Amino acid sequence: DVKVTQSSRYLVKRTGEKVFLECVQDMDHENMFWYRQDPGLGLRLIYFSYDVKMKEKGDIPEGYSVSREKKERFSLILESASTNQTSMYLCASSFEGRSTDTQYFGPGTRLTVL
């Protein structure tokens, strides 16, 4: 079974802190994604990566950056956390390219910024 793990289920940070969210997948997937999930807004794509050291902006990249130094690991970075970044963050991965391929999700990290 594909396994996508996220470093924390719950995280509480203060405004202005630098925050790292880690995601690891064990299926050698080329693509990895970071979403945030908010009530009434569904899932919104923050960033995705289709290869090591490659990244593409999603729909809401402002205030975030990402890092992919190894194929299995994709990190989301909040350079200076703000209260409007309080949300559920979901990581996902998939094989390269084909539109039929499923995305596999991690359990999510619920981040609260005070």
Partner 1 sequence: GDSVTQMEGPVTLSEEAFLTINCTYTATGYPSLFWYVQYPGEGLQLLLKATKADDKGSNKGFEATYRKETTSFHLEKGSVQVSDSAVYFCALRGGGYQKVTFGTGTKLQVIP
Provide the binding-site residues for partner 1, judged by CB under 8 A: 4, 31, 33, 40-43, 45, 48, 50, 58, 90, 92, 94, 96-97, 99-108
Shortest distance in whole angstroms from residue 43 CB to partner 1? 4
Q: Which is nearer to partner 1, 42 or 84 (CB)?
A: 42
Cβ–Cβ under 8 Å, residues 7 and 108:
no
Q: Which is nearer to partner 1, 28 or 79 (CB)?
A: 28
Shortest distance in whole angstroms from residue 57 CB to partner 1? 11
Shortest distance in whole angstroms from residue 40 CB to partner 1? 6
**Rounded CA separation 48/80 (Å):** 20
**Rounded CA separation 108/106 (Å):** 6
Q: Which is nearer to partner 1, 45 or 77 (CB)?
A: 45
| Long-range own/partner contacts, residues 53-56 (CB < 8 A, 24 or more apart) | none
- Give, in order, the Cα–Cα distances in Å from 78 to each of 13, 64, 69: 11, 5, 17
